[in-house]
Homo-oligomer: A and B are copies of this chain.
Amino acid sequence: MPRTRLYRDGVLISEGFPVADVSDHIDDAGCVVWFDLCSPTPADLGIISEELGLHELAVEDVLHDHQRPKLDTYESHLFLTVYHVDLDKTSGRLRSTEINVFITKTALVTVRENDHFDIDELVRRWDSTREMAKHGVVYLLHGLLDHVVDGHFDVVQSLDEQIEGLEDELFDGATGNRHMQRRTFEMRKSMVQFRRLVLPMREVVGSLLRREIDIIEPVMTPYYQDVYDHVLRVAEWTDSLRDLVGNIRETHLTLQGYKLNEIMKKITAWAAVIAVPTMITGFYGQNVPYPGFGASIGFWTSSSVIVVASFVLFAIFKRKDWI
């Protein structure tokens, strides 16, 4: 079933009709059309572009990979790029899906790079606030932005949980673990990429709100304000996560230094404990008539000195907490 919808005066008239039929409704009074394209060909875009009078630069932009949310204003329409973000379940890496949106007075066209973005969920969200449908395109756009930003929220929450996990492991012995190093590395990389997709959202939603672009009716303002508020929270949360990861990294470095110091102390201590008996046996191995040379008393002296010296050293080092 193709992803299409037709509203008239705020009521859903039909959905699932072929994209080709869209042109029949697009100029009807009181009608609002939504349709969705998934990885369309340039030809597909060409047809739609002509139908809706889209600017060639905006259409061209759909075909390129941006990696940056933005809102462009053209004479007859707006062009919005946002990113759906989630974490790949198997690798844990960040996965982003570009969503391009053309916004005219009577139509909303969503163009998805691939099908990682759950369009069914978006439709459900629209249906759950059906009573606002009379606001037309602005209502549809709000549902879309709300859904995308909620996705950002989920990601930042997952990253936060991963950080909590790292924190717990920090004071276990596991920190030296090569595997954990790699996980930390991957997570920091995800955070850099995430910031790049999330921070410009403030500007995008902010400029919708600041009424530079006069499409939002006053009664819808609180709803967009709400989305903006979410965007700010995601941005601030992301910044906090950076600080938390910095805290982990620096504590980790300090713990490494602490361990190194511990190990060096142990080396000194054990080296001394072993070197002293060796020196004593060396003494008794000399071919000179030392006291007890070749006599029973020599053996007992030697052995006693070894045992006593070792024990005393061990006791001293134990006390200094060096062993």
Chain A residues with a Cβ under 8 A of chain B: 55, 57, 61, 66-68, 70, 72, 74, 167, 170-171, 176, 178, 181-182, 184-185, 188-189, 192-193, 195-196, 200, 222-223, 225-226, 229, 232-233, 236-237, 240, 243-244, 247, 249-268, 270-272, 274-279, 281-290, 292-296, 298-299, 302-303, 306
Contact = CB atoms under 8 A, between A and B. Distances in A.
Contact of A171 (B182, B223, B263, B266): B182
A253 B274 CA distance: 32
B189 A244 contact: yes
What secondary structure prevails in chain A residues at the interface with B?
A: helix
A78 B276 CA distance: 78
A272 B272 contact: no
Nearest to A233: B68
A188 B284 contact: no
Nearest to A79: B222
Contacts of A232: 68, 70
Contacts of A294: 287-289
Nearest to A68: B233
Contact of A285 (B66, B287, B296): B287
Interface centre among A57, A261, A286 (most CB of B within 10 A): A286
Contact of A193 (B55, B74, B240, B287): B240
Contacts of A226: 57, 61, 72
Contacts of A289: 294-296, 298-299
Interface centre among A74, A290, A298 (most CB of B within 10 A): A290
A121 to B, nearest CB: 18
